[in-house]
Amino acid sequence: MKNLETSSMEEPEKTGMIDTWLDKHSSIYTAATRHAFVVSIRDGSVDLSSFRTWLGQDYLFVRGFVPFVANVLIRAGKESGESSDMEVVLGGLASLYDEIEWFKREGSKWNVDFSTIVPQKANQEYRRFLEALMSSGVKYAVIMTAFWAIEAVYQESFAHCLEDGNKTPAELTGACHRWGNDGFKQYCLSVKNIAERCLENASSEVLAEAENVLVRVLEHEVAFWEMSRGGN
Ligand SMILES: Cc1ncc(CNC=O)c(N)n1
């Protein structure tokens, strides 16, 4: 009797490099997107001094992230070969303006004086890593993979705090909506598609570098959450 299960030999659906890498490095990906600090926001047990530490440190991080995204924007104009890349990155850069304004409002709300905050070690190391990625020897496919990972960790993390069954305190839902909203999810998907397109044509050396950079971003994100949880 003919086996119906195997009678149609369909080609397996093509998965992109990024999803392949996330499967391969799923434990660090989960550590970055389901960190105890994020889970504590979701279940309402969050320690507000940790939240205040995160707020001040992330404000400094975002100020360093702006030149990084500006560098991605310049490369999107010069190196991409696809004119729509620029609009995607420009949209991200523009939203960082609103984000900085939001941080300032949150800073007054939580009595966090940004002018006196000193970047902690994890923050300094993450920013140094971003600076290294901005050097001209780093390929567009590699920086785009890093850019996607940085944004996607926040999207995944804060969307989790808004999912069914959350007990996120009302005063923290603003932060969760900032990165957990649907528009930000769509934007992350657009960045992912750009990265995937570049990776499709990349050499094995560039692929290896992009995979390494992806893992390094996830490690920096875990260290950043750890720093926040440690308080100040
Ligand atoms: C440490 C860290 N990683 C990613 C983001 C999200 N990108 C821009 O806001 C962020 N704010 N902070």
Active-site positions? 221
Classify domain 17-228 by CATH architecture. Up-down Bundle (1.20)
Q: Among 38, 59, 123, 153, which residue has the most ligand 1 atoms within 8 Å of its CB, making it the best to mutate?
A: 153
Q: How confident is the model at residue 9, as a pLDDT?
A: 60
Q: How far apart are CA 122 and CA 135, in angstroms?
A: 21
Residue bearing the CA closest to ligand 1, atom 3: 150
Alpha carbon of 104 to those of 41, 56, 132, 163, 202: distances in Å?
20, 10, 28, 27, 40
Q: Among 63, 93, 154, 219, which residue has the most ligand 1 atoms within 8 Å of its CB, making it the best to mutate?
A: 154
Q: Is 215 in the pocket of ligand 1 (CB under 6 A)?
A: no
Q: Is 65 in the pocket of ligand 1 (CB under 6 A)?
A: yes
What single-letter amino acid sits at 123? Answer: N
Query: What is the percentage of the chain residues whose pLDDT exceeds 90?
Result: 84
Q: How confident is the model at residue 104, as a pLDDT?
A: 97
pLDDT at residue 232 greater than cutoff 60: no
Whose tokens are 């970055």? That residue is 32
Q: Is 93 in the pocket of ligand 1 (CB under 6 A)?
A: no
Q: Which atom of ligand 1 is nearest to the CA of 221?
A: 1
Q: How confident is the model at residue 12, as a pLDDT?
A: 59
> How many angstroms separate the most distant Cα atoms in the chain?
77
Q: Which atom of ligand 1 is nearest to the CA of 99?
A: 9
Task: Report whether 110 contacts 86 (CB < 8 A).
Answer: no
Alpha carbon of 112 to those of 40, 50, 55: distances in Å?
20, 12, 8
Pull the structure tokens for residue 199.
């990776």
3-state secondary structure of 172: helix
Q: Is 150 in the pocket of ligand 1 (CB under 6 A)?
A: yes
Query: What is the percentage of the chain residues whose pLDDT exceeds 70?
Result: 93
2 CA → ligand 1 middle, Å:
54
Q: Which of 3-7, 37-41, 53-57 has the lowest mean pLDDT?
A: 3-7
Residue bearing the CA closest to ligand 1, atom 4: 150
Q: How far apart are CA 227 and CA 123, in angstroms?
A: 8
- Tens-digit pLDDT profile for residues 158-204: 999 999 889 888 899 999 999 999 999 999 999 999 999 999 989 99
Q: Which atom of ligand 1 is nearest to the CA of 153?
A: 4
Range 11-23 burial, b when 16+ CB lie within 10 A, else e = eeeeeebbeebbe
224 CA → ligand 1 middle, Å:
10
Q: pTM surpassing 0.90?
A: yes
Q: How far apart are CA 145 and CA 135, in angstroms?
A: 15
Q: What is the ipTM of this complex?
A: 0.99
Domain limits of the chain? 17-228
Q: How far apart are CA 94 and CA 87, in angstroms?
A: 10
